[in-house]
Amino acid sequence: MISTGSIRTVVGIIGNVISFGLFLSPFPTFLKIFKKKAVEQFSPVPYLATLLNCMLWVMYGLPFVHPNSVLVLTINGIGFIIEALYLLTFFIYSPRRLRLQIVAILAAELVFVGAVMGGVLSGAHTHHKRTQIVGILCVIFGTAMYASPLSIMKLVIQTKSVKYMPFFLSLVSFLNGLCWTAYSLLRFDLYILIPNGLGALLAAVQLILYFIYYRTTPKDDTNQNLELPEVTPASTPFPLSAVTVEN
């Protein structure tokens, strides 16, 4: 008889693989930035937001905060490294003004995470309290990132076109949210469940919209180069924190 813990581990590993793919989704964009030696119209904000999200989930997965969360820790640690590399590339090829903005936002994020970590270690002396504090922050930021595609969904309905909503990313994001939702239910974890359950729901709505409006989308629109930065949750991942479109 397979134990619930073993099933949860397998689901978590699958979630790691899917989330890793989502973290890599912006790679073509950064390859273009590297080749052109310029960031052009792309914004660093989605990657800064995802970096913060990863840092919070890494903190959540630490043994002295929420024990037995290795799979949450690993994928978000990997995500942190990937996002840091994206931001490094962005920084190298950005104009001076944008570099200063990146440094300022990054510094604010590090101060915030450091303050949270210091507060949790000094003020919360049980795993339950630490989990609660960091978990609430993860839910807030994770839910905000998962909710960001609402503007894209509104645009799809208004234009009756899926030009700005790639099917593959919507599908993978749905699977990602579904996988981590299952993970959170196998050994109940409210803080992973809320953002990922919401993410799976919103991604499902995106898929429905895609099938509704695909036929009304001009064929040349479906050939656009689209990229949606990611959020995993456990990062949340889903990677629809923003959309960059290059004609």
Nearest to 168 by CA among 219, 228, 215: 228
Could you give the residue ranges of the DSSP H alpha helices within the chain? Answer: 4-23, 27-36, 45-61, 70-92, 96-123, 127-147, 150-159, 167-186, 190-213
Residue 1's pLDDT is: 73
The span from the CA of 179 to the CA of 200, in Å, is 9
pLDDT at 133: 95
pLDDT given at position 208: 93
Give the pLDDT score at 247: 32
- Those residues whose C-beta lies under 8 Å from the C-beta of residue 244, and which sit 6 or more positions away, are 29, 41, 42, 43, 46, 226, 227, 228, 229
pLDDT at position 228 is: 43
Give the residues of the chain that fall short of pLDDT 70.
147, 219-247
Whole-angstrom distance, CA of residue 166 vs CA of residue 163? 7
Spatial distance between the Cα atoms of 166 and 183, rounded to a whole number of angstroms:
26
Full-prediction pTM beyond 0.95? no
Q: Three-state SS for 244?
A: strand
Count how many Cα atoms sit within 13 Å of the Cα of residue 196 in the half-sphere of its side chain. 29
Task: Note the pLDDT of residue 82.
Answer: 95
Predicted local confidence at residue 240, as pLDDT? 40
- pLDDT at site 236: 46
**Which residues are paired to 227 by β-bridges?**
244
